[in-house]
Amino acid sequence: MRYLRTFELIEAVVRAGSIRRAAEDTNLTASALNRRIQAFEQEFGWPIFERLPRGMRLNPAGELLMQHIRSHRTDLTRVQSQVADLAGERRGHVSIACSQALLPYFLPEQIALYRSAHPGVTFSVNVRDRVQAERDLASFSSDLALVFEPVHLVEFEVLHALEQPVHAVFRRDGALARRSDLRLRDCLNHALALPAQAYGVRRLLELAATRRGRALTPAVESESFELIRHYVLHEDAVGFQIPIGLKLRPDDALDHRAVSSRDVAGGQLLLGQMKGRALPVASAKFAQQLALALAARATD
Amino acid sequence: MRYLRTFELIEAVVRAGSIRRAAEDTNLTASALNRRIQAFEQEFGWPIFERLPRGMRLNPAGELLMQHIRSHRTDLTRVQSQVADLAGERRGHVSIACSQALLPYFLPEQIALYRSAHPGVTFSVNVRDRVQAERDLASFSSDLALVFEPVHLVEFEVLHALEQPVHAVFRRDGALARRSDLRLRDCLNHALALPAQAYGVRRLLELAATRRGRALTPAVESESFELIRHYVLHEDAVGFQIPIGLKLRPDDALDHRAVSSRDVAGGQLLLGQMKGRALPVASAKFAQQLALALAARATD
DNA sequence: AACTCCGTTGCAATTTTTGCAGCGCAGCGG
DNA sequence: CCGCTGCGCTGCAAAAATTGCAACGGAGTT
């Protein structure tokens, strides 16, 4: 949008950290860019940048303004989305920050389902850990977040919650496969393939282990759930994940089962948005669909 | 603000109803204005005006956009106000929609008090009845509303409430002045000077009268409380008003006293803002001061 | 002390916006 | 039927704004 150009330029300067670098990104000369910034500060009434010998940085006034700019712009896209909806053609873009576990099955299915009804809607899916997801919402870079065991919950408005037990993942031909009620101590006798500390599953496991005075000493620790799943096949190890990211296929060499809730508490998978924000039409409708799908899983 | 020019122009067209008339108001030619509107619609993606043979009118998309524009602009002034506050100098503008009863004493005092501490803050006071006040808040043309017995209360966030009994106003040398506990039937024996139907005091009186099977037949009916107050002096009539708009001065020919609460229920004087809106610093601080002043009255 | 990278400014070139005049259209009144 | 009025819209030239170029001074770095 032409009339938002000044804001784009300001953002470019914030990102680049200096006018000269931002000028390259925006296909302008440093002088032109400089004058636009100055003109804006003049009209706004106060400087919004600190001038440092090495470049520019936002001052507190600028931070305040940036927050406003971001909210304004996403609000405008919401209006456009509403207008598109008004005109009958559902268009728009849904951006969602989610935990890794949603990537293999749940989200692809849901997105495909939504796009089959509304081909004009596009999606961007960003993998974020529990902390980053909330930061994404606050900075308006994601409309929705679907995360396991979020941390802060301030500014986070829960649209739907689903309890997910921690599942152990193991070889179908291993010793664990034969147990009917799976206890934590059974798992701890095997080599452990655990997610990194930042992840909710890991936190729940640590909690359970320390309560029993035992320490978790992973053989393999990774940020990739996919790696963990595959590693389990090589050594007769045990991995952990939530069931929404797992699927039972009879021909598969992998199997999984819930660790007894007596040992490891379940966690919450939360669908949420930034508190108080009015979502674009497409995002709101997609959130409804997700909530329905999650509710269906709860009754399974 | 230069970068908000397009929005100003759109608003001018909405107000004027045609490009040519709006062009005069904005010191532009119709052609220039026309092209800016077209350029905006191009960028926005949809037309926002209906072209009629007699001029232009907003279409539904335009209505949606206008709502956004208004909220955006008031939001920006809030940011500026916050920045001013950050810089130490409290500046800004407070716009308040209020009932007539606040005009003679309460608001002038409060505004003077606030301005003595913060001379940089300016005020606009708009007299609005109960319905219009809420409409003002919703259209962002007022930050605060201080009204007696508002109607809808949707979108209205109450910041402070004060119960106000209905007071009768009469000549100090009249018959009513001698009664200690003032009953409604005493008043009804006199000529009545009543506010118009739209006002809260009138509604409370009507309610009380019909409950007793009596009808209110005003000798004088007016939208001006000031006229009512002065009329009472000429005929030995009785007027009605809430005490916040009255003052006892010993040298005055007027007197007033609460009508017994057994007969006429008290009403609520409400200080409020639009639900969910973040007020500019000056408005928020002034609202705090008002709330305090109202609370002090409650304990009198 | 030489060097680099920064924001900033004067001036000319360029791009954008505007005003002017005129077009076609649709109601209105005779 | 006509002329009249007020409307949105467009081609073209004038006016205004934005931009690029070159250069300056300042502050860290080597």
How close is the nearest chain B Cα to the Cα of A85, in Å?
A: 10
Residues of B in contact with A65 (CB under 8 A): 79, 83
Q: Identify the pLDDT of residue A151.
A: 83
Residue A2 above 80 pLDDT? no
Rounded to 10 degrees, the C-alpha dihedral B145/B149/B150/B152 comes to: 150
- Are residues B83 and A65, on separate chains, in Cβ contact within 8 Å? yes
| DSSP H or E stretch at residue A25 | helix A19-25
Confidence of residue B169 (pLDDT cuts 50, 70, 90): very high
Residue B178 above 80 pLDDT? no
Scanning every strand, the nucleotide with its C1' closest to B19's CA turns out to be D8
Query: Cβ of residue B55 near strand D, that is under 7 Å?
Result: yes
**Candidate from A3, A86, A87 with C-beta closest to B6:** A3
How close is the nearest chain B Cα to the Cα of A93, in Å?
A: 15
Which of B241, B258, B253, B264 has its CA nearest to residue B181? B258
Interface probe, candidates A5, A43, A68, chain B, greatest B C-beta count within 10 A: A68
| DSSP H or E stretch at residue A95 | strand A92-98
Distance CA A292, CA A114 (A): 12
Burial class of residue A173, CB neighbours in 10 A (0-12, 13-18, 19+): exposed
What does the mean pLDDT of chain A come to? Answer: 91
- Closest Cα in chain A to B62: A83
Instruction: Look up the protein residue whose alpha carbon has the minimum distance to the C1' of D11.
Output: B31
Confidence of residue B264 (pLDDT cuts 50, 70, 90): very high
Higher pLDDT: A96 or A178? It is: A96
The answer to whether A293 and A110 are in contact (CB under 8 A) is: yes
β-strand pairing of A220-222 with A192-195: parallel
The total number of residues shown for chain A amounts to 300
In tens, the pLDDT along B141-167 reads 999 999 999 887 788 999 999 999 999
CB pairs under 8 A between A and B: 67
Query: B4: which 2 tokens?
Result: 């908000």
Interface probe, candidates A11, A69, A78, A79, chain B, greatest B C-beta count within 10 A: A79
Residue A250 above 80 pLDDT? no
- Are residues A44 and B80, on separate chains, in Cβ contact within 8 Å? yes
- Are residues B68 and A45, on separate chains, in Cβ contact within 8 Å? no
Residue A276 above 90 pLDDT? no
Which of B29, B58, B65 has its CA nearest to residue B21? B29
- Provide, in whole angstroms, the distance separating residue A32's CA from nucleotide C13's C1': 14
DSSP B148-197: ES-S--TTEEEEEEEEEPPEEEEETTSSGGG-SSB-HHHHHTS-EEEE-T
How close is the nearest chain B Cα to the Cα of A49, in Å?
A: 13
| DSSP H or E stretch at residue B234 | helix B225-234
pLDDT above 90 coverage of chain B, percent: 67
Which of B113, B148, B111 has its CA nearest to residue B128? B148
Residues of B in contact with A61 (CB under 8 A): 83, 86-87
pLDDT above 90 coverage of chain A, percent: 67
Global pTM value? 0.77
Burial class of residue A15, CB neighbours in 10 A (0-12, 13-18, 19+): exposed
Q: What are the residues whose beta carbons fall under 8 Å from the beta carbon of A206, sequence distance 6 or more?
A: A216
Mean pLDDT across the stretch A128-150? 91
Residue A300 above 70 pLDDT? no
Residue A89 above 80 pLDDT? no
Residues of B in contact with A3 (CB under 8 A): 3, 5-6, 40, 43
The answer to whether A156 and A274 are in contact (CB under 8 A) is: yes
Mean pLDDT across the stretch B53-58? 91
Distance CA B244, CA B101 (A): 7
Which of B109, B24, B47, B36 has its CA nearest to residue B297? B109
The answer to whether B164 and B204 are in contact (CB under 8 A) is: no
Mean pLDDT across the stretch B270-287? 93
Mean pLDDT across the stretch B11-24? 94
In one-letter notation, the amino acid at residue B189 is N
Mean pLDDT across the stretch B26-34? 94
Highest mean pLDDT among B24-38, B148-162, B213-227: B24-38
Which of B233, B237, B230 has its CA nearest to residue B193? B237
Strand D: which nucleotides have any atom within 7 A of a protein Cβ?
6-11, 18-23, 26-28
Q: Identify the three-state secondary structure at position B195.
A: strand
- Are residues A86 and B61, on separate chains, in Cβ contact within 8 Å? yes
Interface probe, candidates A7, A9, A41, A72, chain B, greatest B C-beta count within 10 A: A72
The answer to whether A236 and A190 are in contact (CB under 8 A) is: yes
Query: A6: which 2 tokens?
Result: 């000044």
